[in-house]
Chains A and B, each alone.
With several copies, the nearest count.
Chain A
Amino acid sequence: MTEALSLDRLAGRVTDGAVLALPPDYSFVPMAAVRALVRRGMRDLHLVTVPQAGIAADLLIGAGCVATVETAAVSLGELGIAPRFSAAVESGAVAIRDSTCPAIHAALQAAEKGVPFMPLRGLIGSDLLRVRPDWQVIDNPLADGGDPIVLLPALRPDVALFHAPFADEHGNVWLGARRELVTMAHAAKETLVTVEEVRPGDLLADETPAAGTLPALYVSALAEAKQGAWPLGLAGRYEPDRAHLADYARLAASEEGFAAYCAAHVTDAASDETTAPIAAE
């Protein structure tokens, strides 16, 4: 069942070399947990962005935690390219497994359904097929021939990690319409979640919140992290800290600037001090 941990102990459930799935920038990004991973000096992570990512991936890459990035895109959005990501790909410091958004969704759905692959239309003629030898073109066995289609192998992360507005005392996590996180959790071996707060009661007991709830069955461990998505926003709760994000984009443009950013905002756990272990059930 769901364990209640401190932020640091939650981060400690991720092991070096793990296949770690992270949400897109618009969706419940676990920034406090990402900083905790950096502080723990993680190495050789295989990041899977579902399907794209921003500062969370850039921070982990810049800090040297990542060996491989599997992604449809890493970018800072309006603030431009993700500088540590781009630099690391250019220098070969990280291996890049380029993908495309629906392929990442479909490959996670394959793992969710316990099937070894999922077909996907499109893709044929894209150089992605050239750089993804694990994707295979077959002739659609259900057609009369001459209908090529791509099969994507199932993608089963070791760990799905995200931040949610709240959980209940049983470990059920409210995700609203962010169902890419539901699929991530179904597909992953372990799911680690930080939340703004733990509320009393049972989210599954009432049909309205239940519709947006990930059952505790899938949640390996929970930690409370107030403002846990900061400097990103949490839709309907707090806005992105745009000034801070712009600072990040500016500083991370150089290795030195990135180191200065980390020294100021990541290395010292005090920046996530509002984070306290929640009471165990």
Chain B
Amino acid sequence: MSPEKTALLIDVIAGMLEGLGRVAVGASSPIPAAAAWLARERGGGRPQVSVLGSGAHSDMTDGGRELFDRAGQGRIDAFFLGGVQIDGGANINLIGTGPHPSADKRFPGSYGSAYLYFVVPRVILFRVEHSPRTLVEKVDFVSAPGTSPAGVYRPGGPHALITGRCVFRFDAARGRFRLASLHPGHSLDEVRTATGFDFDCADDPPVTPAPSAETMALIRGPIGGNLAEVYPRFAAKFLGGERAA
């Protein structure tokens, strides 16, 4: 992915974290982590950001369960999830394709999705690959469902889906995605072809705005510094020699 596209994704995700109190980011998630740091820079220290598995950038001292306990306490306002497959109902599958248990192609597993998707108010789905293979009509395995029947305890759920081509917002009442913006250089037709599920859409969707010069300076400056420390390989690719470890 080009550095420009990477910066665009960081910027658009950061916009979704504005005004929140606390954001947590899973392990090996450099773009969401950069977005959270960017939101914090812009917010003058808010949201507070916890990046898992990042040593100095983690503030957890109660072991691996603390993230989930915090989420259950209502102390995490936003989190990020991906998916081997994501369907039009925002159901996510992190387990693999084909029948369970003997998958056609087995992926790592559901991680904390089957819990966090229910209790974190703003879950942002992030999957760069936007193809009929990843965005499907119906997932083969529901690691975590996009919506729940009335009565099921569910203070949280999906907020948006960001891909390499566009931004979808999730409409919980309708249980469907709505195209919010197309990234520069991508068309609605292209997105329709690349998306395995049906979604709502205005006739003329806006274009995802490119990051401002100010944002780019933050990304190249303090955010790049954090990235170089926690994700040196990613930072080297993204920011080049200036930030290589």
Contact = CB atoms under 8 A, between A and B. Distances in A.
The answer to A–B direct touch (Cβ < 8 A) is: yes
Interface of A: 1, 24, 26-27, 50-52, 71-75, 77-78, 81-82, 85-86, 89-92, 95-96, 98-103, 105-106, 109, 111-115, 120-128, 131, 146-149, 172, 177-183, 186-187, 204-205, 210-218, 235
Interface stretch (B65-73, B165-173, B201-209): B65-73
Nearest to B100: A131
B185 interface: no
Given A99-B110, A235-B55, 13 more contacts: A50-B64, A75-B107, A86-B107, A91-B102, A112-B72, A114-B73, A124-B152, A126-B143, A128-B110, A128-B143, A177-B60, A205-B56, A216-B59
Interface in B30-88: 45-46, 48, 50, 53, 55-56, 59-66, 68-75
Contacts of A100: 110-115, 143
Nearest to B98: A90
A214 B61 contact: yes
Contact of A122 (B65, B102, B106, B115): B115
B8 to A, nearest CB: 22
15 contacts: A52-B111, A73-B94, A98-B101, A98-B109, A102-B112, A106-B65, A114-B119, A125-B149, A172-B59, A178-B63, A182-B62, A204-B59, A214-B61, A215-B60, A215-B61
A133 B93 CA distance: 19
A204 B104 CA distance: 44
B173 to A, nearest CB: 17
Given A126-B114, A211-B61, A112 B73 contact: yes
Interface residues on B, range: 35 or more
B148 interface: yes
A6 B53 CA distance: 31
A125 B65 contact: no
Nearest to B57: A204
A109 B117 CA distance: 22
Nearest to B109: A73
A55 B51 CA distance: 22
A193 to B, nearest CB: 15
Contact of B108 (A75, A78, A127, A148): A75
A146 B116 CA distance: 22
B28 A77 contact: yes
A182 to B, nearest CB: 7
A126 B112 contact: no
Contacts, number: 197
B107 A101 contact: no
A27 B64 contact: yes
Contacts of B25: none
Q: Which of A187, A214, A217 has the most CB of B within 10 A?
A: A217
B28 A72 contact: no
B153 A149 contact: yes
Contacts of B56: 204-205
A1 B63 contact: no
Contact of B62 (A77, A146, A179): A179
Contact of B68 (A105, A172, A182): A105
Contacts of A26: 27, 53
B145 interface: yes
The 9 A-B residue pairs whose C-beta atoms are closest, nearest first, are: A114-B72, A179-B63, A73-B109, A75-B108, A102-B68, A125-B145, A122-B115, A180-B64, A122-B118
A14 B74 CA distance: 21
B109 A127 contact: no
Contacts of A1: 45-46, 48
